[in-house]
Amino acid sequence: MALTPIKTERSFRKRYAKKPLQMRKAIDKAVTQLRKDWRHPGLRASKMQGASGIYEVRLSAGNRLTFSWEDNRIILLNHCNHDILRRNP
């Protein structure tokens, strides 16, 4: 099974590097599953309300990873606290 290609912006990578190890592992796990099957029930992927074309997946109870699609590629946008995403999609 082929993995879906991804693209990460420099800002995403910079924020990722500042995260604690446990959160980086959660992000890595979610990205791996996204690439295999973005509709996997464990990710709880859903469209973000009020943000056209942006989806979110759960990293933990309060943290989310957002992404969009460009052609057949996943574009990783952000990873942060759920409340921050609700204010700034």
Instruction: Assess if residue 68 is contained within a domain.
Output: yes
CA angle (59 as vertex; 35, 23 as ends), nearest 5: 100
Fill in the amino acid letter for 86. Answer: R
- How much of the chain is in helix, strand and coil states, percent to nearest 5? 40, 30, 35
pTM of this structure: 0.83
- The reported pLDDT for the residue numbered 34 is 95
- The reported pLDDT for the residue numbered 1 is 66
- The reported pLDDT for the residue numbered 16 is 93
Query: Token digits for 14?
Result: 């910079």
Instruction: Assess if residue 1 is contained within a domain.
Output: no
Structural domain for 13, as ranges: 6-87
Instruction: Assess if residue 56 is contained within a domain.
Output: yes
- The reported pLDDT for the residue numbered 7 is 95
Instruction: Assess if residue 69 is contained within a domain.
Output: yes
Count up the domains in the chain and report the number: 1
CATH (domain of 57): 3.30.2310.20
Low-confidence ranges of the chain (pLDDT < 50): 84-87, 89
How far, in whole angstroms, is CA 72 from its chain's centroid? 16
- The reported pLDDT for the residue numbered 28 is 95
